Structure 1
């Protein structure tokens, strides 16, 4: 399962499209790259679980991360085998328990994936990062983007310590990027605990819950979070940081994790 399944080169991820571009110099016909999306259906013990709209990169990580995030598995020991087929647009997963009863779909997230658990796990961590460390990491995130500079239209997320990025994932779905990070951590034996979670996408309550399950005590985005995410972060012990770009950032919860001691 540790083989990189579904990894394509940039040409395979972003289609070469002819378009007409307008600027001060007038109209110009040119070629551009745009993100290519696919529908991936995950089967568990021969039963269809969910269909996810995603980018065809690191699909094995996406599948494992999704199953873990939704509570279908608690670790790699719960997976007997997995086959990911790009041609068939499916992932066929067999659990160690062949009689496992799949959970009932409760609601759909904006990624199109199902959400079975809505209660977060409180984060227990002593991690503290300075604002300059956070801003430096966000700069590293921008520098390590591969697909976005070429085509736009995708999100990038990363797991890091206070100095360097450890895992980076890109996808048309911001939720998918966190699932890919979770899956890569499981398959590569990387602990996400006491790490920072960085993202270019808006942090919603679903995104915050995924970070909480990874026990990431600091979650950072270059955009604003939702009110629900802020309330969850306050309850779960997570420092939620938004508008992190250039030399500025905003901390919405637990500012002490960013060395801010003001009341």
Structure 2
């Protein structure tokens, strides 16, 4: 799968609680240039998003193959395994090996994963683009999650929406990707784009885990819809607020209500809808009402 002869140790001594990261020196492009014919019949050169498989291994056991853009594969693999309930203790991680020559990411731990085969046998097909399957450990620990009650302002939401528009570089260049952001007030702490919104949230989860960052003072932004799976992942990251440019599903809303997540969707420009947690949002920048339409 992964050859030790063509990899390099990028940061082997981060700390005793972080794994060593071994990566090939092969760069993968996020977009490629192609030719297309426009509406005027003219040939133009445009960029499209790359899409490639990444097989995630846990102690050399293949777990899943994700279709991904290819950015930050080590964090994507870690976040995926953590969110799915395969690993939970950062101290167990020994190394992360990413080899794009064979499209693989291997996570090596000091201990075997409890009930691994049982978890792998329990699959649920989901709406997740780029993934589409959750395993038996995905729902573990939800009843133990206690999220803080956030205090938000409408003006802060507007400022955040304005600021975050500068971060979707791949989308502006090629389209066909989702973006997810880890935010604090109206500042963007981290932003990830991928062909699947679940890849993007898992990548952020992996980054937070490696940095041992907490989500209690954060807000999670996504361009994708707020399904049950997205809400669960955000809750596992300890983040009390989700903000989406898209809409929400029934089960996504029900889980937000159960878990105490403030859910704001259809957020674009000066518009948004608070589906849950309206008491946590101070409406301090109400825009002028639109004039009524006349027949």
Give the TM-score taking structure 2 as reference length: 0.81
Match of 2:56 in 1: 42
Match of 1:32 in 2: 46
Give runs of ≥4 in structure 1 deviating > 6 Å.
6-9
54, 57, 71: which one aligns with 1:57? 71
Match of 2:291 in 1: none
Measured on the aligned residues, the alpha-carbon RMSD in Å equals 2.1
Counterpart-to-counterpart distance in 2, 1:127 and 1:176: 26
Matched, 1:115 2:128: no
Cα deviations by residue, 1:152-174 (Å, 9 ceiling, x for unpaired): 00011111111311111110000
Give the TM-score taking structure 1 as reference length: 0.90
Structure 2: which 5+ runs fail to align?
1-18, 284-295
163, 177, 180: which one aligns with 2:203? 180
Q: Secondary structure at the match of 1:112?
A: coil
Cα deviations by residue, 1:174-213 (Å, 9 ceiling, x for unpaired): 0111101011111223222231000011111100100011
Matched, 1:17 2:34: yes
Q: Secondary structure at the match of 1:12?
A: coil
**Rg larger in 1 or in 2?**
2
Structure 1 residues 7, 169: closer, same or farther in 2, change over 3 A?
farther
Q: Secondary structure at the match of 2:29?
A: helix
Counterpart-to-counterpart distance in 2, 1:218 and 1:196: 5
Match of 1:254 in 2: 277
Q: Secondary structure at the match of 2:82?
A: helix
Structure 1: which 5+ runs fail to align?
none
